[in-house]
Amino acid sequence: MKHVLFACVHNTGRSQMAEAFFNRMADPAKARALSGGTEPATGMNPTVLEVMKEVGIDLVAEGHHPKIADLDALQAGDRAISMGCGVSLACPVHLGKMEDWGLDDPKDQPISKVREIRDQIKDRVSKLVVELGAAK
């Protein structure tokens, strides 16, 4: 079983989208993803919720909410991916084995830009699932 952690600072957008896409694309007997933030916000990004509904994923109905990054999962996981917070000390990328995908933050972006970010995440996650040999 492969484990992937998608992390960011607030866990309101990019990492939530990545977790949802991964768990939809991966065979649950082969891989599972979690997401979390180092400083979780109190609510989800409403534009992210909207663009995910456009592709048939209702993050709220599926129980997604901002949560603290599970650092034990980072240490034990097969992959740990930061969504684009670079080397900020608030971001877990500084912990060592995390790779950074360098994606734009959807916060305060127009819906057209958030759609682009969503599609970039979906493409990267799709490639990751195949790379891990975990596709359905």
- Give the span between the Cα atoms of 128 and 87, in whole angstroms: 22
9: domain range?
2-131
Whether residue 95 is predicted with pLDDT greater than 80 in this model: the reply is: no
Total number of domains in the chain = 1
d(CA 117, CA 115): 5
Q: Calculate mean pLDDT across residues 118-128.
A: 98
**Residue 1 corresponds to which amino acid?**
M
Confidence of residue 91 (pLDDT cuts 50, 70, 90): low
**Sign of the torsion angle spanned by Cα atoms 99, 22, 53, 39:** negative
Q: Which two tokens stand for residue 45?
A: 């990004």
Q: pLDDT by residue (tens digit) across 24-81?
A: 999 999 999 999 888 899 999 999 999 999 999 999 999 999 998 876 766 667 888 8
In a domain, 136, yes or no: no
Q: Distance (Å, rounded) from C-alpha 59 to C-alpha 50?
A: 9
CATH of the domain at 97: 3.40.50.2300
> Is residue 37 a part of any domain in this protein?
yes
Residue with tokens 């790779």: 99
